[in-house]
Structure 1
Amino acid sequence: MTATASPGARASYGVDADAVLRQLGQAGRFHLRVYALVALAAVQVGLLHTTYIFLAADVPYRCLIPECEAANATEYSPAWLALPSGAREQRCSRRALPEPDSCAKDAFSDELQPCHHWVYGSKDTIVAEFNLACQDWKRTLVGTIHNIGMLVSLPIFGYISDRWGRKKALILSCTLVGAIGSLKAFSISYEMYVIVEFLETVAGASAFPAAYILTIELLGQDKRVLTTAFLGIMLVLGGLSFAMLAKTFTYWRTFILVVYPPSLLFLLYIYLLPESIRWLLSKGRKDEAVEIIMKAAKTNNVTLSDETMKQLTEEKTKPIEEKLEAKNEQGLWMQVLRSPIIMTRLAICSWWWITCTFVFYGLAINSVSLAGDKYTNYMLVVSVEVIAVVTNALVLDRIGRKRTLLAAYVVCGFACVAITFVPKDLSWLATLLYLLGKIAITQAFSGIYMYTSELFPTHARHSLLGFCSMVGRVGSILAPQMPLLAIYVEWLPSVLFGATALVAGALMLTTPETLNTRLPDTIQEAEQLAQKAPPNEDIQMNSRS
């Protein structure tokens, strides 16, 4: 009974991390400073994580007619009619000219010839810069390479975070993305651009998981939902900033040089941002944790209880130290492999992440482009995500994680499947179902970060969360292929989106509820989440207050 009542104490060198964090409060000056710093990191992620949408966007172009215009011609709308009527043919083929000396309107025949040179209507993206006309696969490959980079990044930085700290992982990711991403502005070829895109993503894809985990480990269990909502809104602000800056600095090289270099300022976080107290305690670095705790108490003008002070000043005993060191010598993945509960949970979480990335990006890619300014449209699409974030903030702490996410997956699944049965003359209904599915999957995507992190122990949280997110990138890699599939079977993409979401909802029934539970610090504590236990001390104290 004693061990169950205070599981965090055993895993944190004799210090009850939850009790300490509760006494420090959650809205003092110390916390507000950390929130502000982490918020900037989240805004940076929203600003930089999908730059390829505009930088590698398609632009208008047509065939160059060498018999009638110079090789360096720049006039996009020609006076002659050398172009066929079809939209695709106009871009990649031209009418033959039997009499090269004449460029008159009726001099061109109906015979089509392939183009070898093009005139571009805009030079704002890499399409014109690297002559990517009629090579759409090269444009879309930029997004695919981006997602492959995320797949590589997450386990690497997950290990760095769990081994050397959340703070180091966050600073490293935020600064490297600025340094490497800036190099794209100096690309001299398409191949160089793609390589730098990959390296940039490997460096920067883990900034948000590091920021998220650092924040939830600073807060008590009753504020995890607000953390998710807070960081979700910061991502939206970053996305809106991205669109506004892209509209202001339309030329891709200029945009990069304006947006990426300021990320180097995150190096100042070495002095400004504290390390996760919970992580330090779980690693046995009690002295460093105590230093941060005392500084936070002083900043927040808080007096710690006598029991807490005793825990903080008490010397750790040698048996505990030896025990912890012996445990640390066990490989993390060996511990995971020896736990059927954690392995099963890891597989289920991975499917949730695959579903979120597959459906979220798939719906965005397969949606009909809105008429009007593309930057304004992007801002509108990003703004819709606020509905899902706010909904999560209102319901996750009231009806629980499982029921909220189950409802989100089921609503998304049925909405996507129902789209295939909507008659073509009811396009408004199809649009409504699409938006409903988009909001639902965004809600699931937002909530799954928190739920996944609550299912795994502190010393492996970032690594296992990173693994799930890494596997999930399979979905975002497959999503761009759905328009190609729709050419052959128009209804199949929507059915696949709906089916994967419904399977994810069914799997939600197999995992434990984490509402009002303390974050597990060890594999054993994470396994015990599946067992029905009486309310822990935190819940009892919260109910009394």
Structure 2
Amino acid sequence: MRDYDEITAFLGEWGPAQKLIFLLLTVSVIPNGFAGFSIIFVGDIPEHRCSIPGNLNLSQAWMNRTIPLVPGTQIQYTQCSRYRLDVIRNLSELFPDPDLLNVSGIDEEPCLDGWDYSQDQYTSTIVSEWDLVCNDNWKEPFAASLYFLGVLIGSGSSGMISDRFGRKIVLFGTMGIQVLFNLLITLSPSWEIFCLINFFKGIGEISNYMTAFVLGSELLQKSIRVTYSTLGIGFFYAVGYMLLPFVAYFMRGWRMLILILSLISLLYIPLWWFIPESPRWLLSKGRVKEAESIIRFMAKKNGITPPAVLFTDDELEHIQNKQVKSVPVIQLIKTSRIRAITMINLVVWMILAIGYYGLSLNVPNLHGNDYLNCFLFGAIEIPANIAAWLLLRKFPRKLSLSGILALSGGVLLFMNLIPSSLLVLSTALVLIGKLGNTCAFSIAFVYTSELYPTPMRNTGIGVSSMASRAGSIISPYVAMLDAYKENLPFIVMGVLMVFSAIVVLFLPETFNIPLPDTISQMQKVKWFKIRRCSYSYVSKTKTIGENNVVIFKEEML
């Protein structure tokens, strides 16, 4: 009995229709490249110091003495305190020249009148607009975490929604959600409203990416799917990533930046008339005429005459019955064999997300130009996806994933030994770490799909993806560790990646091994075992003269 791929083999592997679908779907993920990382510039923390009211009538010399210096420095002012203004005012009346006094012993007070922010880099960010500094500095990473919480919910629900209503309508519906919530967020009157809208924005944006991935996998032939998921989607996701700092360089206010980025998404509306629905999904819903119409259109586009009858009744029944339905999540931990693989996958995917987003969101804490660093972080994903594509084609999965994770983690740990004066070297090491992490993410997606049997493959990938979203929620706080110790975020991420590289070694190898269709065909996790030596004593009776003597024989098992 022929399956869908055999029936539609007459279309060819790489005709004009497939090329057009490949291009349009990959281009549609460009907004996803800048959506999750816009917080780098929208939520950046400008240089700031306590605001001093102008009605104190202080001279400029005394104004410069109202803010304490950071201990050990001569030019850097503290950001969360000032000297008591009533004392400063009284002293200024008695001593017009502040150089005659040592003001360092004056009591300090918090910034009761707000903060003054530098506008050298930004005209406004959400930090400067709503004073998300000092005691409220937790609010900026919390806004990013809420976005990733929306991403988690979106990744869990997008599959079910597209399975019910169709790939195409969800793809373009989520594009509309992206534009709508991006426009609404520019009107946010408060931090609380910003967080709420940012949460819903996360739900829509990941759903768009996931649906584009599934639609392309179902429309394109098997030989093109790995290329589509790595060089296709990965490349244009990186293009969107690189576009972000370019737009942010010219749009220094956070509201205008988001507005321009949202308007870019409007350019994708005409794609509705060029991207078809998935014939596989249509057939699973019994919409045979619509599926045939799309297949015949693709054949015409490729200059091929299709068969008069595409599907026999038996083939239609076979295709519809072959649709794999997701199994309950509990099945992933029901037996020891599946449970071990699932637990390792959850740990690895969570660490991958912490590393990926932790590195990306840490751009403002790096030395050098923020816009250039962000562009380089996006550009490095192109060779990372090429490397993943090559490794997936030629090398074992387990060793590739473990080796890349060990390299990425080791480079980040080495960062702690680099003097802060070597800016170029430290930035290059971070980029190598980002390259390895991105490459590992692409490999992990394919590797995970090969570990699970067919009935629970979609569920296994979905749960692993949700674990990665949980890691992305944590990542903004990992990036904040720089405030406690320089390079601490890199140390934490490096340790986690090296740990995950070790854990991956316990997984079975899947390279050049047929995909398992049943649980019994799954390979087992290979734990390290300590071989124990045990002894058994076997008694034998031997007659010596008139006496029976019992002899014990010691054997090692």
Shorter-normalised TM-score: what interval? 0.7 to 0.9
The answer as to whether partners of 2:56 and 2:89 remain within 8 angstroms in 1 is: no
Cα deviations by residue, 1:453-480 (Å, 9 ceiling, x for unpaired): 5556888766653432221122222233
Residues in 2 aligned to 1:130 and 1:425: alpha-carbon distance in whole angstroms: 34
Query: In the alignment, which residue of structure 2 is the partner of 1:538?
Result: none
Query: In the alignment, which residue of structure 2 is the partner of 1:31?
Result: 18
One-letter identity of the residue aligned with 1:19: E
Query: In the alignment, which residue of structure 2 is the partner of 1:82?
Result: 66
CA apart distance, 1:213: 2.2
Map of 1:341-360 to 2, 5 A cutoff?
A: 345-360=341-356
| Closer, same or farther: CA 435–271 of 1 in aligned 2, 3 Å | closer
Residues in 1 aligned to 2:143 and 2:220: alpha-carbon distance in whole angstroms: 38
Query: In the alignment, which residue of structure 1 is the partner of 2:118?
Result: 121
Query: In the alignment, which residue of structure 1 is the partner of 2:442?
Result: 446
**TM-score scaled to structure 1, two decimals?**
0.79
Bigger mean CA deviation after superposition, 343-352 or 488-497: 488-497
Query: In the alignment, which residue of structure 2 is the partner of 1:275?
Result: 277
Query: In the alignment, which residue of structure 2 is the partner of 1:194?
Result: 195
Residues in 1 aligned to 2:490 and 2:262: alpha-carbon distance in whole angstroms: 36
Query: In the alignment, which residue of structure 2 is the partner of 1:185?
Result: 186
| Closer, same or farther: CA 421–146 of 1 in aligned 2, 3 Å | same
| Closer, same or farther: CA 296–346 of 1 in aligned 2, 3 Å | farther
CA apart distance, 1:421: 6.4
CA apart distance, 1:416: 3.8
**TM-score scaled to structure 2, two decimals?**
0.78
CA apart distance, 1:300: 0.9
Residues in 1 aligned to 2:490 and 2:127: alpha-carbon distance in whole angstroms: 30
Instruction: Give the 3-state SS of the residue equivalent to 1:188 in structure 2.
Output: coil
Residues in 1 aligned to 2:418 and 2:252: alpha-carbon distance in whole angstroms: 38
Bigger mean CA deviation after superposition, 476-485 or 162-171: 476-485
Query: In the alignment, which residue of structure 2 is the partner of 1:314?
Result: 312
Residues in 1 aligned to 2:296 and 2:77: alpha-carbon distance in whole angstroms: 70
Query: In the alignment, which residue of structure 1 is the partner of 2:394?
Result: 398
Q: Bigger relative contact order, structure 1 or 2, given CA contacts below 8 A and separation 6+? A: 1
| Closer, same or farther: CA 414–233 of 1 in aligned 2, 3 Å | same
Residues in 1 aligned to 2:335 and 2:282: alpha-carbon distance in whole angstroms: 24
Residues in 2 aligned to 1:218 and 1:316: alpha-carbon distance in whole angstroms: 22
Instruction: Give the 3-state SS of the residue equivalent to 2:192 in structure 1.
Output: helix
Residues in 1 aligned to 2:279 and 2:447: alpha-carbon distance in whole angstroms: 21
| Closer, same or farther: CA 244–69 of 1 in aligned 2, 3 Å | farther
Instruction: Give the 3-state SS of the residue equivalent to 1:83 in structure 2.
Output: coil
Query: In the alignment, which residue of structure 2 is the partner of 1:100?
Result: 89
Cα deviations by residue, 1:341-386 (Å, 9 ceiling, x for unpaired): 6665544433332121112223445578444432122112221222
Over the matched positions of the two proteins, sequence identity in percent amounts to: 28
One-letter identity of the residue aligned with 1:315: D
| Closer, same or farther: CA 128–430 of 1 in aligned 2, 3 Å | closer
CA apart distance, 1:285: 4.5
| Closer, same or farther: CA 487–531 of 1 in aligned 2, 3 Å | closer
| Closer, same or farther: CA 317–57 of 1 in aligned 2, 3 Å | closer
Residues in 1 aligned to 2:24 and 2:43: alpha-carbon distance in whole angstroms: 31
Map of 1:371-382 to 2, 5 A cutoff?
A: 371-382=367-378
> Which residue of 461, 467, 473 corresponds with 1:465?
461
CA apart distance, 1:393: 2.7
Residues in 2 aligned to 1:199 and 1:80: alpha-carbon distance in whole angstroms: 44
Instruction: Give the 3-state SS of the residue equivalent to 1:301 in structure 2.
Output: coil
Any stretches of 5+ residues in structure 1 without a counterpart? 1-8, 10-14, 71-75, 533-545
Residues in 1 aligned to 2:409 and 2:523: alpha-carbon distance in whole angstroms: 30
The answer as to whether partners of 2:452 and 2:522 remain within 8 angstroms in 1 is: no
Question: Which is greater in Rg?
Answer: 2
Query: In the alignment, which residue of structure 2 is the partner of 1:217?
Result: 218
Cα deviations by residue, 1:90-122 (Å, 9 ceiling, x for unpaired): 322112342637485518943222111222223
Instruction: Give the 3-state SS of the residue equivalent to 1:90 in structure 2.
Output: coil
Residues in 2 aligned to 1:348 and 1:341: alpha-carbon distance in whole angstroms: 11
| Closer, same or farther: CA 189–69 of 1 in aligned 2, 3 Å | farther
Query: In the alignment, which residue of structure 2 is the partner of 1:291?
Result: 293
Bigger mean CA deviation after superposition, 117-126 or 233-242: 117-126
Cα deviations by residue, 1:418-465 (Å, 9 ceiling, x for unpaired): 555678898877665544332211111123334445556888766653
Residues in 1 aligned to 2:117 and 2:409: alpha-carbon distance in whole angstroms: 41
CA apart distance, 1:27: 2.6
The answer as to whether partners of 2:181 and 2:197 remain within 8 angstroms in 1 is: yes
One-letter identity of the residue aligned with 1:243: P
> Is the helix fraction higher in 1 or 2?
1
Residues in 2 aligned to 1:453 and 1:399: alpha-carbon distance in whole angstroms: 16
Query: In the alignment, which residue of structure 1 is the partner of 2:544?
Result: none
Query: In the alignment, which residue of structure 2 is the partner of 1:168?
Result: 169
The answer as to whether partners of 1:233 and 1:386 remain within 8 angstroms in 2 is: yes
One-letter identity of the residue aligned with 2:507: T
Query: In the alignment, which residue of structure 1 is the partner of 2:536?
Result: none
CA apart distance, 1:137: 1.2
| Closer, same or farther: CA 336–181 of 1 in aligned 2, 3 Å | same
Residues in 1 aligned to 2:290 and 2:336: alpha-carbon distance in whole angstroms: 34
One-letter identity of the residue aligned with 2:384: A
| Closer, same or farther: CA 343–270 of 1 in aligned 2, 3 Å | farther
Residues in 2 aligned to 1:318 and 1:32: alpha-carbon distance in whole angstroms: 27
Residues in 2 aligned to 1:48 and 1:77: alpha-carbon distance in whole angstroms: 45
| Closer, same or farther: CA 319–258 of 1 in aligned 2, 3 Å | closer
Cα deviations by residue, 1:154-211 (Å, 9 ceiling, x for unpaired): 1011211233333233222222111112101111111111111111111212222221
CA apart distance, 1:484: 5.7
Query: In the alignment, which residue of structure 1 is the partner of 2:517?
Result: 525
CA apart distance, 1:256: 2.1
The answer as to whether partners of 1:412 and 1:498 remain within 8 angstroms in 2 is: yes
Paired positions, count? 504
Residues in 2 aligned to 1:321 and 1:94: alpha-carbon distance in whole angstroms: 73
Residues in 1 aligned to 2:174 and 2:61: alpha-carbon distance in whole angstroms: 45
Cα deviations by residue, 1:238-260 (Å, 9 ceiling, x for unpaired): 01111111112221222222221
One-letter identity of the residue aligned with 2:296: M
Cα deviations by residue, 1:29-59 (Å, 9 ceiling, x for unpaired): 2112212221222111112222111111111
One-letter identity of the residue aligned with 2:147: H
Map of 1:43-62 to 2, 5 A cutoff?
A: 43-62=30-49
